[in-house]
Amino acid sequence: MILDDFVSFDEKGLYCKYGDFYIDPQLPVKTAVISHAHADHAISGNNNVYCTRATASIMQLRYDRTAAKVFNIAAFNQPFEVGRVTVTLIPAGHMLGSAQILMEYEGARYLYTGDYKLQPDATCEPIEWVTTDVLITESTFANPAVIHPDPVSEIRKINDIKSNILLGAYALGKSQRLINLITEHAPQKKILVHHKIMPINAIYEKMGFHPGKYQIYGRKLMKVQDEFVYIVPPFTFDSYIRATGVKRLFASGWKNLQVNNQDTLFISDHVDWNDILQTIANTKPKQVWTLHGKGEHLKAYFKDDIFVKILN
């Protein structure tokens, strides 16, 4: 039987009272199950954290001693108990170590997707499918108007750019995926990375995921026009707003983060509308509960077929 109150929001985040834990809490809690290491999901200061090894490594890099009191490292597809709930982490395909959180309680299955994507990405574990009674999905781009273009065609656009490129991207996940895509699909480009991205690359490599060919940025390197692509985090990208002699691009699924209407690079690590429909087809839920976004489109689309509840 599906319990309508299996998870609910309070001021600290999404809470499961049957297991007495929070999922990706927004404030420090006693027990947290964390889907992946992006800062909007993985905060510091929790007591007891359940997550994958990669997520723990990245949290330790970012937060050092305050990362968590105790890390309980869970391997993918290995069930464990939290309170009275059986929890299993399933690869989500979003970034290295990212997990969907399958929760089983009294015969019902609840699958929290976290952030996830279906597009191939050589820098993380590919998404895996399990069936569920309730799909608790992020719905950032759950709008029929949002269809992400093919990332390979997108990255190939940089082959036509002959000047050096300043490429803005989130340091964690997106930067490694871009290094990989450029190495594969624009191999003549020389990739330089900002120093803040280097320790993250090191964790990826330690876990056996080598993003590709790159070197650390040096001031003298970009003095000449020579197929350089310099990958920088958003803050640095914004501070170079008046940079001359470079083409500026920002890699994102969001229209409003693109530099302008001409210079676009639509590469997203989230599902688009078609991917969400595919996910629902694959996981076969009786109910869909939506988070972070646009649940109303799914509600209208499935009308009487699948019960859709907007959690937030």
First to last CA, the chain: 23
Closest distance of CB 40 from Zn ion, Å = 5
Nearer of residues 34 and 186 to Zn ion, judged by Cβ: 34
Nearer of residues 115 and 133 to Zn ion, judged by Cβ: 115
Closest distance of CB 270 from Zn ion, Å = 8
* Amino acid, single-letter form, for residue 209: F
Closest distance of CB 38 from Zn ion, Å = 4
Nearer of residues 46 and 113 to Zn ion, judged by Cβ: 113
Nearer of residues 38 and 194 to Zn ion, judged by Cβ: 38
Nearer of residues 253 and 285 to Zn ion, judged by Cβ: 253
Closest distance of CB 247 from Zn ion, Å = 27
Closest distance of CB 219 from Zn ion, Å = 32
Nearer of residues 196 and 292 to Zn ion, judged by Cβ: 292
Closest distance of CB 175 from Zn ion, Å = 13
Nearer of residues 113 and 164 to Zn ion, judged by Cβ: 113
Contact positions vs Zn ion (CB under 5 A): 38, 40, 115
Closest distance of CB 172 from Zn ion, Å = 8
Chain centroid offset of residue 28 CA: 21
Between CA 65 and CA 155 the distance in angstroms is: 38
